[in-house]
Each structure stands twice: as C-alpha cells, then as structure tokens.
Structure 1
Amino acid sequence: MKSRILAATGVIALATATITGCSSAGAAGGDSDTLTFMFRGSDAEKAAYTAAIEQFEKDNDVDVKIIMTTADEYSTKLKAAITGKQIPDVFYVDPGSVQAYVKSGIIKDITEEVEASADLDNVWAYGVDSYRFDGKIMGEGAIYAMPKDIGPFSFGYNKTMFEAAGIPLPSTDTPYTWDEFIDVAEKLTLDTDGDGTLDQWGTGLNVQWNLQSFVWSNGGDWLNEDHTEVTVDTPEFAEALQFFADMSNVAKVTPSTTDAQTLDTYQRWMQGQIGFFPVGPWDVPTYEKLDFEWDLIPYPAGATGETATWTGTLGIAVAETTKNAELATKLAIYLSTDETAQQSLVDAGVQIPNLKDMADTWVSESTLPPANKQEFLDVANDYGRALPANTTYSAEWYDELFKNIQPVLDGEQTAADYLAEVQPRMQELLDKANADAGIG
C-alpha cells in the first residue's frame, strides 16, 4: 500500500480550545484497516518518514495516512483535532504535554508492548524516560510515548573565522571559562571592512534557548528538587542572567538591537558573521550548505567549572481512541526503534540515531559535518538536561520569566532586581500547575 501525505488543513478543522477528556472521541483513521500518523517537520523529514512508513505498510498490510504540518502549526492543529474528536492514531507529543494528555485520557499506556518488543537498553534512556509518568512524577512509571528523537542542543563555532583571526581553535573537551569565552568573543568582534561599523561579532544568543546553559553551569536552576519551589531568585541564577545581558551591554560582543532588527543573529551566523552559535541535530542539513567550516564544542562553563545544556525530544504517542491499538502501537515503536526506519531519518540528517549502537557507528563512520559529532553524544550521555517546564503540568510558570525580561537584556534593569520581582509570579503559576496535576 502507498502512504499518503495529507495537508493537515484538509483533515483537521482549525480551532483553539482547552484540552478536555476525550474518552468518547473518534480517531481520524476512520477504520481498523487504516492508521493516521500526524507529525511536524521539514521536507527531508517527510521524505524519510514516507520511505519508512511504506515499508511498514508492506510488512503489516495496513494503509498509513500521513498528516504533516509545519512546526508552528502543529500544536494548534493537534488541539483542534482533539477538540473535534478526530485524534490521529499516532502523533507527536512533547514531554511537557504528557501529564495533561494522560489525565485527559488522550494517550495510551504502551508500556507492556514496548517492554515486550523493544530493546530499551539500546535506546537513549533520556528519550524513553521523558515519556514516563506514574501519575505524580514525570520520568517514572508507565511509558506513554516512544521517543521520535533526542535533540542535544550543542554549541557551534565558525572555524573559518577563528583561522582568519589567528585564534587557536577551542578544545573539544575542555570548556571555556566565562572570562575566556568573552576574551575570544571580543577578538572576533570586528569591523572587517574598515568602514567604522562592526560587521562581525563573537556571538548572538537567544535568551529563551541559551540562558539554561549559563544558569546550570553556574550552579543555578529554575526549580527545587521536588519541583514545588521556583528558585530563580538566587545569586547563582542572577549572576548567570547578568552575564548573559552583559555580553551585549558591557562586552558588546553581540549585534546591537538595531543590528538584530536589520538581520537576526541566526541569519548572521548563516552568513558567516557570528563566531559562536547553538547547533541542534535538526540544524545539520541546513548547516551543511554554509560557506564556512564549523564544528561543535562544549558550552562555556560558569562557577561549577562544568559545561551544561539541554536535550530536547519529541515523542510518538498512540491515541487512547485508536480503533487498531495493536498496529498503532507497533507503528510508534517501529518509527522509534527499527534500524531501517532510523537509518532513513539519520540519512536525511534530521536527528542522531535513537539506537545507541547506531549512534556510535554514526560518529565513527559518517563523513558529513560536524567533525566533532561526539559532542552530540556527550550531551546525550553525560550532561544534557530536560528543559525546566518539561517536568511540570504546564509551562506557564516557566514562560513568565521571559515575558518581561527585555529591560534586563537592554541594560535598563539588573538581573537580581528583575528575578526578585518575577519569582512570586512564577511561583503562583507553578502552584496552580501543581494543583491541577493533583500535587499538593
């Protein structure tokens, strides 16, 4: 049978709504001989999934309809499908949604099937544990999805820029200290054409996706151990946020606000104007086309002396309402752990292998950039953490930090003052999330 790629707008009516219990909802597949798989991704990912699913169809005598959306549209359209009782049989889920989906009866407990058919010792534990939930604590108990991938959020540098400036290349093992990082970034911040205006910068980082590394490596964190207290108002956290802001306002190693409005830092990195920039596995296909050499290194380390970053993940869940639970679960496990399916995704360059033995081979044999692929695996194995909101019932408390952070980034307010001001609002939202989750 031939898989069919369907535009999500042709299957799901657009709507916005709160997720509610859906025990009587139907599945978008419509019958037990057809499965629907909804995901978001790039053209490369679509081609990889098409090839993998066509093989699954042949092996299992089933028709799989593929519903694809853009990354920006996915959450809205999935919620619309849930509200309209047209839930796909198999679909992407993020760790932060697991608790709500379990409580609402939307996703199926697939523990028994996974443990019977998958070699979990050969799958990244972080990936599997991100979709475990025992009714109280994320990371423990039953499995509600299999990892589509894990995404070690690593740190890249422009090797060509370093060589042109005559700066020794950074170590792939020992992270820069913050002082060393600023020193190098200042040397890379230049007016290369002599017109009196900077056109090259040491770095240009987004606070929402890069602050975590600086906070964690400085000994700070967002939450206490049992996730009941917001801890952003500590000296360690304040020092990290202040350092982040001072990169622009004191060291001036990032594009100014005006520069960023003209061309954002991602585009400047792509054009070879930025020395250091984050790199996730999903970036690799695009970065292969860059006109300069680049590679991976650890993030600079704060007071702990140890590098830190986060590891993303998406899961593949099965709808509680599917009319063919056996095949739907088999498809989720297949996409996550089958060697051929994984090879299709790895060949497309959109992720590192889910299977640890494949990942080791990929590091040693793949000739595609980056040269230091081992850094991705080091993040996955050793020091990558979950994003703070992934372990709580909702992300509102976490998002609150970033809503009014701009005055700190602009140098108009100190980090310590802002964090003291925002912590109570974050705590109130965390308390609500924990109450909604039944955690008292």
Structure 2
Amino acid sequence: MSTFSRRHFLGGAGALSLGGLVAACSGSPSPEGSSGGGGGGTGAGADIRWWDHFGGLQDLHARWAAEQAEKVGVGIEYTYNEPSQATEALQLANQSNQLPDIYSNVVGLPLPALVEAGWLHPIELSEEAIGRLPEGTFVEGISMLDGVIYALPALSDRQYWACTWYNSEIADEVGFEGPKSYDDLRAALRAIADDGRYAPMTLALGASGRIRDQVDDLAQAGGFPGWQGLRYDTGEYNYDHDTYINAIELLKEISDNGWLLPGTNSFQIPDARGRWAAGNVGFFIDGPWSPGGVRALNEEHLARMATSGELTPEGEELVITRGAPGGTWFVAGNSANPEAASLVVESFTQDDYQAALAEAMDQPPLNLDIVADADVIEPYAWLIDDFKQRVFRAPQVQVRNIQASEALALATPVAPTLGDIIQGYLGGDVSDLKGELVKLNDAFSSDLDSSIEQAAGAGAEVSRADWEFSDWQRGQDYTY
C-alpha cells in the first residue's frame, strides 16, 4: 500500500475530518445501487452496506445487490468509491466504527494484521460454495488463518497488467501487426507517425502508481527474476536490473520521439483511456480490464480493440509470475449482521456471478474457464486464454513463514516511488536513471530490514533469509 503504513492506517484519524471525507469519498447511494439500507432488516437481521472500488462493475454490482437483498432478506446499500479515495474512506470509516459490512480489498496490509486489529470477521461459506472454487483458492496467510477463511478471492491471480492494446482499424489502414517485441512496437509507432492521420500512443503517465505497475510487469516479462523490484532468488531489491532500465528507456524513447498524444504526461487513467477510446490513437497499454472501462466510455470502440498480449524485449516467450489469489472481499469485524454479509459474499462464488464478471470484461474472474462461454469480445477471450499459459505461481514469504507478516505490516511508504522516478526521467527532471534506481533499492532494503528488526524484537521468528527462495525456477509454479 502506497499511502498508509500499518501505524498510520490502523491508528487514529482526526475526528473533525471524518464526516466530510467519508461523504466525499463514498457519496450518496445511487437509487440503482440501493435496496434499503440502515435501520434494521426485513427478515435476517440488520441491513448491510457494501463498498467497492471496481469502476467497470458498478452496474453489475448495483443489480447484484438488489437481487441478493431479496434472496437474503435484508436491505443492501451498495456504494462505489473511486480507487484513489477508497483506502482513506475505509480508514476513516474504521475510526468511527462504521466500516461497511462488505468491502473490497484496497487495504494493502497482511491478513494477520487486519485480523489482529479487528478489521475482519470470519466468512462462513457452505461446502457447495467452496466446491465451486478452483483448487488452491484459499491459502494460509493470504486468505485464511488457522484454517479460518477471512477473505474471499473472486478475481484471478493468473493475469498480467501491461497488455498491449491497439486500434485494429488503424493497424489495417497504416499496415502493421500486433507487436510482440520492443522493436515491433517502435516500428508500428513510427509507421503511425509517418502516416500522420493519428496519434501513435497514449499512456496514463500522470498516474504514478499505474505506470509503476506497468513497468514492474514489463521488467518481469523481460526476465526480471522477481516482482516489484524484489528478487525471488536472493531476496534483494534490484530495481537497477537491466530489465527495468530497458523498459523505462523504451518509454523514454517513445516520449522523446513525439509518439505520445499531447498531454499524455499528465493523463490519469480515465483521461488516457478516454482519449484512446475516442478512436484516433493507435496504442494504449492497459490491463485486461480495459474493455470494461472502454465500454463505459465509448462502446463503439470495442469493435476496434485488439491486443497482442504483453511485450518482451526481443519477442521471447512471455513468462509472468504472480502470488496466490488475494482476498477480493472482506466482511467487517464490527458487522452487525455477519451472517447475511457472508451469504452475499458466498453469492460471488456462483457461476452466474462469475459469468457476469467475465462479461463485464473488467478484472478476470477467479474461474478463467468460464470466459470461454461468456459474451465477450474476441481479444478479451484470447487474452484470458493467454493468461492460462503464461502466468505461474510465485513464492510468497508469508505463505512459507506466517510470522513474516508481522514485518510486512510494519513497512512504511518509500518515496520517491518507482512511478515518480519514471515520471521525472521522462519529463527531464531525473538525469541519472540508474543512480535513482539504486537509491530506490537502498530505501526499500533499509525499510525491510527495519521492519524485520522491529518484528523480531517483538517476538516474531523472522529474518531476511525468509525472503530468499533459492529453489525458485522461472516458468514453474512454486511449491513449498
């Protein structure tokens, strides 16, 4: 989590700012998203509230809340929060003992820390519901503790985020294929620029968190032996690895050549996606959720969407590594009706919800196989199939040693972030890229060492060696 440390997140917040900020973050429930709410239920206890941050799923979740309210017999008040505001809204709601009964996971803290602090209530799932989920869905330290389920994964861990989306009509008119390598992309962008009728590319460069995620992905695709700067094999930070430098230099070249739509350097995600969805820009790097977001902006553009997966430097076979599926949904520890909340959460395991999730073309559903029979555009179906072949299970320190979570929970934000450095380098404010990346290594390493020292001092059996997975092999699912 980039905004709050455990101390800041679980600690106090100014009472005077609470009401205004929560109202600003969550807003009033929309008529479509509310089916009652507040002041007692109709048959199964108190009414419940549901918050999430999935912009492309608002219509689905508003409808689902209304349907489940009838089935469960309680009022369900559904509210969508913008991702940039959702974390702080939850923090402030917790401080006033007003957490929503159901909320999506934007907290970013280890599961044990949330359970210890009273944020979570166990989720009761029927055997039938558990049987619908893929094998290995629940992992100790990630979604359950001591065999008790505290988080429901509903979205697939088998995905990558730096998908190369392009306008198929522009590709046909200008004459290029979907790029697989950095050189392929350069050639396509140059061809669009030479043609002169369209802007070659746009990105959400103003969103430092998003550009950080995409460069992390491109580096891993390029062969980085880890994730988010941390090597799996040695447990050391290595942001100055060639794979990171090559990915950032690619973006720098694209920017310096004038291949970006004017204004791109300040675009947030909706700005960049909206410009691309208008149909006059060739390329846009975005996640698999892009079709869902595009449909909300300009449904006509769906027919023009194409993807070639994710770039690798020389067009090598793509290999991506991700951890076990984290919890998508939580039930609040202070819920007045955890039984009803668990029933609603259980409904997310149903095939009809998973199919609706697939057809929303936002985050891929936990059961990727369901996409094959869903009403989705062909590029989305192709991408989901690619995930099945290209994405492997990563090692995670808190799975091997649950006490490592004590150190993870003590981590503090590091600034400037990778995204900040990339923005500075593209804008000319950073001249020594490698030097800044080395400083980033040192800052993260120092923070991890300090967190481990504090956790060990408090009695946790944890050391830096827990982060070393010398037996990890790229392109294989890790087993403990």
Same fold by TM-score, threshold 0.5 exceeded?
yes
Amino acid at match of 2:438: A
Give the counterpart of 2:335 among 308, 322, 326.
322
Give the counterpart of 1:270 among 262, 269, 277.
277
Instruction: Mark the runs of 5 or more structure 2 residues left unpaired by the alignment.
Output: 1-17, 23-36, 206-210, 399-404, 464-480
2:377 aligned with 1:376? no
Counterpart residue number, 1:146: 152
Secondary structure (helix, strand or coil) at the match of 1:156 reads strand
For residues 215 and 391 of structure 2, the distance between their equivalents in structure 1, rounded to whole angstroms, comes to 16
CA drift of 1:309 comes to: 6.2
CA RMSD across the alignment: 3.9
For residues 140 and 170 of structure 2, the distance between their equivalents in structure 1, rounded to whole angstroms, comes to 38
For residues 291 and 89 of structure 1, the distance between their equivalents in structure 2, rounded to whole angstroms, comes to 35
Give the counterpart of 1:166 among 164, 170, 175.
175
CA drift of 1:227 comes to: 8.8
TM-score, structure 1 normalization:
0.74
For residues 272 and 104 of structure 2, the distance between their equivalents in structure 1, rounded to whole angstroms, comes to 29
2:297 aligned with 1:293? no
2:417 aligned with 1:400? yes
Instruction: Mark the runs of 5 or more structure 1 residues left unpaired by the alignment.
Output: 1-11, 17-27, 194-198
For residues 120 and 147 of structure 1, the distance between their equivalents in structure 2, rounded to whole angstroms, comes to 14
CA drift of 1:216 comes to: 0.6
Deviations 1:101-147 (A, max 9, x none): 2331211343xx3473424564486x755982577xxxx97542113
5 Å matches for 1:29-428?
A: 32-42=45-55, 45-94=57-106, 96-99=108-111, 100-110=113-123, 113-114=124-125, 116-119=127-130, 122-123=133-134, 132=142, 143-150=149-156, 152=159, 153=161, 154-167=163-176, 169-170=177-178, 176-190=180-194, 192=196, 200-202=199-201, 204=203, 206=205, 207-220=211-224, 221=226, 222-225=229-232, 228-249=235-256, 251-255=257-261, 260=265, 265-277=272-284, 278-281=286-289, 282-286=292-296, 288-290=299-301, 293-302=304-313, 305-307=316-318, 315-334=328-347, 336-362=348-374, 366=375, 368-379=376-387, 382-383=390-391, 392-393=408-409, 394=411, 396-397=413-414, 400-410=417-427, 412-428=430-446
For residues 214 and 190 of structure 2, the distance between their equivalents in structure 1, rounded to whole angstroms, comes to 19
Secondary structure (helix, strand or coil) at the match of 2:417 reads helix
Deviations 1:260-295 (A, max 9, x none): 559964343223333221243242423533286121
CA drift of 1:310 comes to: 8.3
Q: Please say if residues 40 and 68 of structure 1, whose CA atoms lie closer than 8 Å, have aligned partners that are also in contact.
A: yes
Q: Please say if residues 51 and 344 of structure 1, whose CA atoms lie closer than 8 Å, have aligned partners that are also in contact.
A: no
Amino acid at match of 1:236: T
TM-score, structure 2 normalization:
0.68
For residues 267 and 295 of structure 2, the distance between their equivalents in structure 1, rounded to whole angstroms, comes to 25
For residues 432 and 140 of structure 2, the distance between their equivalents in structure 1, rounded to whole angstroms, comes to 35
Q: Please say if residues 346 and 353 of structure 1, whose CA atoms lie closer than 8 Å, have aligned partners that are also in contact.
A: yes
Distance of aligned partners of 1:321 and 1:356 in 2 relative to their CA distance in 1, 3 Å threshold:
same
Deviations 1:89-111 (A, max 9, x none): 2111137234342331211343x
For residues 432 and 227 of structure 1, the distance between their equivalents in structure 2, rounded to whole angstroms, comes to 18
Secondary structure (helix, strand or coil) at the match of 1:157 reads strand
Q: Please say if residues 152 and 329 of structure 2, whose CA atoms lie closer than 8 Å, have aligned partners that are also in contact.
A: yes
Counterpart residue number, 1:8: none
State which drifts further: 312-321 or 292-301. 312-321
- Larger fraction in strand: 1
Equivalent residues, number:
392
CA drift of 1:81 comes to: 0.9
Secondary structure (helix, strand or coil) at the match of 1:62 reads coil
CA drift of 1:165 comes to: 0.7
CA drift of 1:349 comes to: 4.8
Q: Please say if residues 156 and 364 of structure 2, whose CA atoms lie closer than 8 Å, have aligned partners that are also in contact.
A: yes
Deviations 1:227-248 (A, max 9, x none): 9532213233333333332332
Counterpart residue number, 2:33: none
For residues 232 and 120 of structure 1, the distance between their equivalents in structure 2, rounded to whole angstroms, comes to 41
For residues 280 and 436 of structure 1, the distance between their equivalents in structure 2, rounded to whole angstroms, comes to 39
Secondary structure (helix, strand or coil) at the match of 1:146 reads coil
